[in-house]
Amino acid sequence: MKTVGNIIWLVLGGIVITLLYYLAGLLMCLTIIGIPFGTQLFKLGTYTLWPFGHELVNGPQDSGCLPIVMNLLWILFGWWEIALLHLGCGLVFCITIVGIPWGMQHFRLAIASIFPFGKEIR
């Protein structure tokens, strides 16, 4: 079921969202200051490519307060708009009963895109 869900996800726009994440990540990596944000966009893009069967979990707890500070900067610089995009897509998919699994994935991506620092894909 994971494979079928991922294939349908890609057809219904997952590949477009993934490419947008990777493009934004490349643009952020053009500057030295943007590299940490670019790597988080690559991580979100990889998670967006195959969301069924994977999850974004908290990483190692010994990383200190840096993820908190970076998540705060992430929100202040306006990357919270990605979460709004995923919330909107999730609501559109949840209109029909058939689209609920894909809508739920968008809701998971919305949560992941608000606080990406300190997370790992499993």
* pLDDT for res 62: 63
Residues 6+ apart with CB under 8 A from 97: none
Please say if the pLDDT value at position 118 is more than 90: no
* pLDDT for res 63: 67
Whole-number average pLDDT of the chain = 89
Contact 102, 9 (CB under 8 A): yes
Distance CA 96, CA 9 (A): 15
pLDDT category of residue 42 using cuts at 50, 70 and 90? very high
Please say if the pLDDT value at position 74 is more than 70: yes
**Alpha carbon distances (Å) from 11 to 5, 18, 62:** 10, 12, 39
